[in-house]
Amino acid sequence: MMLRVLLPLLLCGVLPLSATAAELPIPEHGPALRIQGSNTIGATLGPALVKGLLLEQGLLKIHSEVSDRDNEQQIVGQTTQGRRVVVDIAAHGSSTGFAALKNASADLAASSRPIKDSELLDLETLGDLKSPNAEQVIAIDGLAIILHPQNPLTQLNTEQLARIFSGEVKTWEELGGTGGPVNLYARDDHSGTYDTFKELLLSHRGKTLAGSAKRFESSEQLSDAVSQDPQGIGFIGLPYVRQAKAVAIVDGNSQPMLPLNSLIATEDYPLSRRLYFYLPPDGQNPWADALVKFAQSSKGQAIVAASGFIAQTVQAMKVAPNPQMPDDYRTIIDHAQRLTVNFRFEEGSANLDNKARQDLSRVLDYLKQHDKLNKQVTLVGFGDAKTDSQRAALLSRLRAMAVRRELVKSGVVFREIRGFGDEMPVAANSADEGRIKNRRVEVWVY
């Protein structure tokens, strides 16, 4: 019987990993898995997740082997029979991951931004890369705006940031600070960090990055350069703040927000972003599928947190009141705790987005573990500004009802469903990205 199972694998040039592991096939030649894309993911998080998967698969002597090329490495393990299992990781920027999927030089794309419509169209022969199985949010990150540690400024708004990085603001005195000319530091054109920054702050304002900006492929090198330049300002992924100083960000009418874990987990922080794995839904490499499942598991999310990013593990947090909050919302705050998740929706749709679909099971697990299924949960919906405030309030409640419908299927009995319309925005309503962030549903537990 075993020979019958092994024969097709032998004919295909692969062998199962071991009898006790998940029967993942090992190629006779070349890597078991090829990952290309984001430097933000590929520098530390991607390798750490791969090592975790190899360990779970029962491999021995797991280690990294650095390539002669910058930002490339191999993660290597060994079976009990002494066979090498190799995973290639090349981290040259998110766009390179999608290009590699197209030319079949990668099995999995790592991206620190959502796939673009043009890339989606370009890769349609591989299947729908926006489908729930193909687009996997593996972690949350925040883009920190960093200054020299001695810079006295403590907050900047998104309009100021757009003017700074486009070169319109040339001196610190124009921002109320001191120090003369502003020196700009930015990631390179292949970087998903740069794509995210450009999308969040520059493009929809009709601005482009100033040509004077010093560009970096490495996040660590950029951060270190800013921390050594009293006139410097840069943007970076949260784990790479290092010795620099992060400032609070204001977007539209939002409160000033530092890149704190709780604000990034809920994606309220104006410069929060999602980190993705994309894998072709048609003809997946089983190792790619296994890595995605591992990344979404509790072990994988623990590695996310240990790598300096924000895990999607659901926790309860106490929220401090502030004067901008409606009285009814403050009443909820006085008696309940907020979960570290916001449900959001597909653009122009009442359907939950791919991350929200994953979060349904996470929230349900939390409620079961903490015995919160029976009338101990309140859903609070918010929306973007409408000309009719009553319509905004109705739509925000309907969004909360959409989440309720899904959780009711698993036996959750709710205490209350509330809609607060366009109050308490977390982003400016002047752009699609801001409106999408404001259309959200919070979960509160008693």
| pLDDT above 80 for 334 | yes
Helix (H, G, I), strand (E, B) or coil at 227: helix
pLDDT, residue 192, reads 82
214-239: b (≥16 Cβ within 10 Å) or e: eebbbbeebbbbbbebbbbbbbbbbb
> Which CATH number fits the domain 2-136+275-306, given the four candidates 3.40.190.10, 3.40.50.150, 3.10.150.10, 3.65.10.10?
3.40.190.10
Give tens-digit pLDDT for 71-88.
999 999 999 999 999 999
Fold match flag (141-264 vs 314-445): no
pLDDT level of residue 38 (50, 70, 90 thresholds) = very high
Helix (H, G, I), strand (E, B) or coil at 440: strand
* Mean local confidence (pLDDT), 47-51: 98
Q: What is the DSSP string of 245-263?
A: EE-EEE-TTPPPB---HHH
Q: How many CB atoms lie within 10 A of CB 319?
A: 16
| pLDDT above 70 for 205 | yes
| pLDDT above 70 for 113 | yes
What is the spatial distance between Cα 214 and Cα 373, in angstroms, rounded to a whole number?
Answer: 53
- What is the residue-averaged pLDDT of the chain? 91
pLDDT level of residue 443 (50, 70, 90 thresholds) = very high
pLDDT, residue 431, reads 66
What is the spatial distance between Cα 228 and Cα 223, in angstroms, rounded to a whole number?
Answer: 9
Overall pTM surpassing 0.85 (yes/no):
no
In the chain, % helix, strand, coil (3-state, to 5) comes to: 35, 25, 40
Domain residue extents for the chain? 2-136+275-306, 141-264, 314-445
Task: Please report which helix (H) or strand (E) contains residue 380, including its range.
Answer: strand 377-382
Task: Please report which helix (H) or strand (E) contains residue 48, including its range.
Answer: helix 46-56
Strand pairing class (377-382; 416-419)? parallel
* Mean local confidence (pLDDT), 322-327: 89
pLDDT level of residue 22 (50, 70, 90 thresholds) = low
Give tens-digit pLDDT for 99-110.
999 999 999 999
pLDDT level of residue 15 (50, 70, 90 thresholds) = very low
Report DSSP state, residue 44: I
On the CB side of 326, CA atoms within 13 Å amount to 14
Q: Widest CA span of the chain, in angstroms? A: 78
Q: Which residue carries 């874990």 as its tokens?
A: 261
What is the spatial distance between Cα 114 and Cα 130, in angstroms, rounded to a whole number?
Answer: 9
Was domain 141-264 assigned CATH 3.40.190.10? yes
Q: Into which CATH architecture does domain 314-445 fall?
A: 2-Layer Sandwich (3.30)
Helix (H, G, I), strand (E, B) or coil at 397: helix
pLDDT, residue 434, reads 77
Which range, of 41-50, 85-94, 247-256, averages the lowest pLDDT?
A: 247-256
Give tens-digit pLDDT for 343-394.
999 887 788 999 999 999 999 999 999 999 999 999 999 998 777 788 889 9
What is the spatial distance between Cα 286 and Cα 87, in angstroms, rounded to a whole number?
Answer: 13
CA 62 to chain CA mean position, Å = 27
